[in-house]
Amino acid sequence: MNTVELMTLGFLSEEPLCGYRLRKKMDQLQGYMQAVSDGTLHSVTNKFVKAGYIGETFNVVNGRRLREFHLEPTGRDALVEELKNTGGYNLTNITKWAVVMSFLSVIPDESDRRAVLQRRLDLLESDVRRLYSDGEGPIDNDKVTDKYRRAIIMVHDAEIDAERQWLKQELGD
């Protein structure tokens, strides 16, 4: 499931939404650097209506036809399964991970939520601190001399430390 699909089911798990409000919520979560186009959202909502993941109703508001979506039980089940099985880029990419975290509370079972958090902590406990490569493999951070790249490394390391601290606290480690 891609990020737009995950956000669609996630936001609809909170409340029914028209496409415009759904897209605005996505933009707020992702930031305007990764804005979701109307065409992309339209494609996802049509796909999910056909799959039975979401339902739609049509209302007239201020003389305009408004298409509102709501999450169906099969859509909730798909969302829960996707979140429970978070891995790959959804676990390693900070932007995608932020989307997962935004909807993690949808998973009804605490042990399943904890398993997802543990996978993220395991990743952060591995060698994720080296950001640059010479084409052969990672370069040790102490060998990076450009002050702006060093700043990126410093901010990255601080983010990792803060997230690791929160995860350990949440998991009771």
Residue 120, domain member (yes or no): no
Q: Is 32 part of any domain?
A: yes
CA distance 77 to 107: 9
Residue 55 domain-assigned (yes or no): yes
Mean pLDDT of 17-38: 87
Q: Is residue 99 part of a domain?
A: no
Task: Classify residue 4 by burial, with Cβ atoms within 10 Å: 0-12, 13-18, 19+.
Answer: buried
Band (pLDDT 50/70/90 cuts) for residue 32 is low
Give 141's contacts (C-beta < 8 A, 6+ positions apart).
Answer: 129, 130, 131, 150, 153
Q: Does residue 98 fall inside a structural domain?
A: no
Q: Are 105 and 36 in contact (CB under 8 A)?
A: no
Between CA 122 and CA 108 the distance in angstroms is 22
- Domain hosting 78: range is 3-87
pLDDT single digits (tens) 90-134 = 999 888 999 999 999 999 999 999 999 999 999 999 877 666 666
CATH code at 18? 1.10.10.10
Same domain, 11 and 65: yes
Q: Which percentage of the chain shows pLDDT scores above 70?
A: 95
| Whole-number percent of the chain with pLDDT over 90 | 72
**Listed residue (53, 55, 19, 61) closest to 36, CA to CA:** 19
Structure confidence by residue, pLDDT tens digits, 137-163:
777 888 888 999 899 889 988 999 999
pLDDT at residue number 77: 98
Q: What's the DSSP call for residue 33?
A: G
Are 25 and 79 part of one and the same domain?
yes
